């Protein structure tokens, strides 16, 4: 619960700090500025590290589980 | 890989006010940071990845294809198909010894011998995985909210995973802030070769009766994930994301192919008793609760883009990890770019991780695993990607990555680090290499 409150507080602080107008979003609209610039690379990497490490997730929910050895 | 917008990238130097407004309109209609998408046809990304580990361990050949289409205004259908063909050898959990070791294959039929000083690898390992997922995204409530419904299925000859997810996103603050909530549920079934081993049962000699050391032919687990996140436009050049994920898993969490070496107080592997080999199958808790904090920032420099993220993971198995990931997109002429990649990962060992187990502890220990992935380890990745636009609004890419994973000896109340575990290299590094080619196009 504490973590959720911290996240909401962070969101509120960030929201308060700037307003970028629609006509100023030319750079933000570029594909290079996407949060996940290449979804295939991201999916392949997530699968590799899921198979080799004991942590997973962070960017979304679910996804194909596997009996990765 | 967003092809249409790559055209934008190459034209931006001489952009007019009208074009700026058009781009801004695109931004209004999309999530901040997402690109304009094709209005007609399928946007297809495809790649072939080869992943190869040193010392004849795992090699994976993995073709992947995804397709996305705007099926009606602001409503998108996305699909992804992955094939994963694995061959090679994987650690069976026993540790390196100063004497040769003989193991039985998971099927119970036949065995294999590992020489003194060698890391015990099960070379009968092979698998083929097919995974398919689909997402349907559409506006809900009003122009400021979207919903994504997803489903996925992944199948191997010994593992099946089915999952569904729902994501809700709402924009605030003149679309400078997006709140995201997501819920996902996965139901997995594992049907191991040689059936489900009884925890701490001994590995049997080839051909021995397995009926008293097996718990049926399959088992299940359920994973529920919840995520809440905020994406914030910091300024004209910077985008930031914070996510908090909670995950709860229950059911069968063991790796049915992993064993622990049974040793005496001096660290010497005990002898074979009847048809019992001196290795016992692992056992993990049947529940796991994880929390993940994730932060990402994308920043546009003069021409280049830097993308950096940090992830903190903690769970009730005592696995705490930190991950730092950095991509730097270096723009070249003509819309091509080079992208160096660095990743560093470090984790602490699970509380029940042990390199071996004492013969006197087998009957009294509740949980133990020597799966190297639950130990103390670091992973370092260095990579480089090159992307080049092609004729017909398509794009070619190639990337190479080097992965080095190193492990530490872990002091545990289970087992001992004397004897073989102290004198042998029981935690050899793992080197892996990725080469991947990709091609994206409209269809």
pLDDT in tens, B300-318: 999 999 999 999 999 999 9
Detail the DSSP E strand segments found in B57-144. Answer: 59-72, 75-87, 90-91, 101-104, 111-114, 121-122, 126-139
Whether the pLDDT of residue B11 is over 50: the answer is: no
Q: Do B173 and A19 touch (CB under 8 A)?
A: yes
Query: Given an 8 Å threshold on Cβ–Cβ distance, is A31 in contact with B35?
Result: yes
Judging by DSSP bridges, how do beta strands B259-263 and B276-281 pair with one another? Answer: antiparallel
Q: A52, B373: Cβ pair inside 8 Å? A: yes
Distance CA A22, CA A17 (A): 16
- Does the model's pTM come out above 0.90? no
CATH of domain B3-442: 2.40.160.40
User: Taking the CB of residue B351, how many other CB atoms lie within 10 A of it?
Assistant: 16
Q: How far apart are CA B77 and CA B138, in angstroms?
A: 9
Residue % of chain B over a pLDDT of 90: 83
Q: Cβ contacts (< 8 Å) between A66 and chain B: which residues? A: 129, 131, 154, 156, 159, 161
**pLDDT tens, position by position, B347-402:** 999 999 999 999 999 999 999 999 999 999 999 999 999 999 999 889 999 999 99
pLDDT digits (tens, 9 = 90+) for B27-61: 444 444 344 444 579 999 999 999 999 988 999 99
Pair of tokens at residue B364? 């009294």
Alpha helices in A18-62 (DSSP H): 39-52
Question: 3-class DSSP state for residue A48?
Answer: helix
CA angle, corner B277, sides to B275 and B278, nearest 5?
Answer: 145
pLDDT digits (tens, 9 = 90+) for B347-362: 999 999 999 999 999 9
pLDDT value of position A14: 62
Would you list the domain boundaries of chain B? 3-442
Q: Which two tokens stand for residue B423?
A: 């004198």
Nearest Cα of chain B lies from the Cα of A6 at a distance, in angstroms, of: 10
Looking at CA atoms only, how far is residue B161 from chain A in angstroms?
A: 5
Question: Min CA distance, A26 vs chain B (Å)?
Answer: 5
pLDDT of residue B280 exceeding 70, the answer is yes
With CA atoms as reference, the chain B residue closest to A3 would be B244
The pLDDT score that the predictor gives to residue B403 is 98
Predicted local distance difference test score (pLDDT) of residue B35: 42
Which of residues 407 through 436 in chain B touch A, CB cutoff 8 A? Answer: 430, 434, 436
Q: Which of B33, B185, B244 sits opposite A35 (nearest CB)?
A: B33
């Amino acid at each position: 619960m504490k973590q959720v409150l911290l996240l909401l507080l962070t969101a509120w602080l960030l929201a308060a700090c700037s307003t970028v107008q629609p006509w100023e979003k030319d750079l933000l609209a570029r594909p290079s500025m996407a949060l996940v610039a290449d979804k295939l690379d991201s999916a392949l990497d997530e699968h590799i590290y899921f198979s080799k490490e004991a942590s997973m997730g962070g960017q979304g929910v679910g996804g194909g589980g596997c009996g990765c050895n | 890989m967003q092809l249409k917008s790559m055209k934008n990238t190459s034209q931006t130097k001489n952009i007019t006010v009208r074009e700026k407004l058009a781009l801004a309109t695109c931004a209004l209609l999309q999530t901040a940071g997402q690109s304009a998408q094709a209005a007609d046809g399928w946007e297809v990304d495809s790649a072939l990845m080869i992943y190869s580990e040193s010392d004849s361990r795992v090699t994976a050949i993995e073709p992947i294809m995804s397709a996305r289409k705007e099926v009606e205004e602001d409503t998108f259908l996305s699909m992804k198909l992955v094939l994963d063909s694995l061959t090679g050898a994987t650690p069976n959990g026993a540790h390196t010894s100063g004497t040769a070791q003989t193991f039985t294959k998971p099927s119970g039929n036949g065995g294999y011998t590992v020489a003194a000083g060698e890391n015990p690898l099960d070379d009968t390992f092979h698998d083929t995985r097919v995974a398919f997922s689909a997402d349907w995204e559409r506006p809900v409530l009003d122009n400021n909210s979207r919903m994504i419904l997803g489903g996925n299925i992944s199948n191997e000859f010994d593992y099946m995973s089915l999952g569904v997810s729902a994501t809700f996103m709402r924009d605030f603050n003149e679309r400078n802030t997006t709140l995201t909530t997501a819920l996902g549920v996965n139901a997995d079934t594992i049907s191991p070769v040689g059936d489900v081993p009884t925890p701490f049962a001994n590995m049997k000699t080839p051909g021995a009766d397995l009926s008293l050391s097996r718990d049926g032919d399959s088992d299940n687990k359920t994973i529920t994930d919840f995520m809440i996140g905020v994406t914030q436009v910091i300024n004209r050049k910077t985008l930031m994301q914070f996510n908090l994920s909670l995950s709860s898993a229950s059911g069968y969490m063991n790796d049915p192919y992993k064993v622990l070496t049974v040793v005496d107080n001096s660290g010497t592997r005990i002898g074979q008793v009847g048809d019992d080999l001196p290795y016992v199958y692992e056992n993990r808790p049947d529940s796991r609760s994880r929390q993940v904090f994730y932060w990402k920032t994308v920043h546009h420099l003069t021409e280049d883009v830097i993308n950096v993220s940090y992830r903190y993971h903690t769970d009730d198995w005592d696995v705490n990890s930190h991950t730092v990931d950095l991509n730097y997109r270096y723009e070249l002429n003509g819309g091509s770019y080079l992208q160096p990649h660095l990743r560093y990962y470090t984790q602490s060992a699970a509380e029940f991780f042990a390199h071996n187990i004492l013969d006197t502890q087998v009957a009294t220990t509740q949980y133990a695993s020597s799966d190297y992935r639950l130990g103390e380890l670091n992973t370092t990745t260095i990579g480089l990607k090159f992307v080049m636009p092609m004729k017909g609004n398509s794009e070619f890419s190639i990337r190479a990555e080097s992965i080095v994973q190193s492990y530490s000896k872990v002091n545990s109340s289970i087992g001992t680090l004397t004897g073989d575990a102290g004198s042998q290299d029981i935690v050899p590094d793992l080197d892996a290499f990725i080469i991947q080619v990709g091609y994206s196009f409209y269809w």
